[in-house]
Amino acid sequence: MPLRLISGMLRSSGNDAMLIMDTGMLNQFVLVTKQALLDVASPPRCDESRLQQHIQIFSNIASDKYDRGEVKPDGRVWITSDDIAKWKQLH
């Protein structure tokens, strides 16, 4: 079942972002790494506007990874620069 985005925000450290997504039964937390934010578009930026501009891409990647069972031991889905590179190859 696809995840549905509830909210997304850059964390106060500025090193990554967090998405909160709905599984239909509970909330799923998704971590978007700083490098993923930098790599999603050019010029590289890691800020709130970059996150919001591309939040649908991150949401789609998170949903696909969740459906494949790619959840880290801490219970979160992580989106990394490798995920962005794979997404770019497909689009």
Give the integer Cα–Cα distance in Å for 78 and 65: 9
Residue 86 predicted with pLDDT over 80: yes
Instruction: Supply the pLDDT for residue 9.
Output: 96
Q: What is the set of domains in the chain, with CATH numbers?
A: 4-85 (3.30.160.140)
Give the integer Cα–Cα distance in Å for 24 and 37: 27
- pLDDT per residue over 3-39, tens digit each? 999 999 999 888 899 999 999 999 999 999 999 999 9
Give the integer Cα–Cα distance in Å for 15 and 24: 29
Q: Are 60 and 45 in contact (CB under 8 A)?
A: no
- pLDDT per residue over 29-77, tens digit each? 999 999 999 999 999 999 999 999 999 999 999 999 999 999 999 999 9
Residue 1 predicted with pLDDT over 80: no
Q: The tokens 């050019």 sit on which residue?
A: 42
Please give the model's pTM, rounded to 2 decimal places. Answer: 0.94
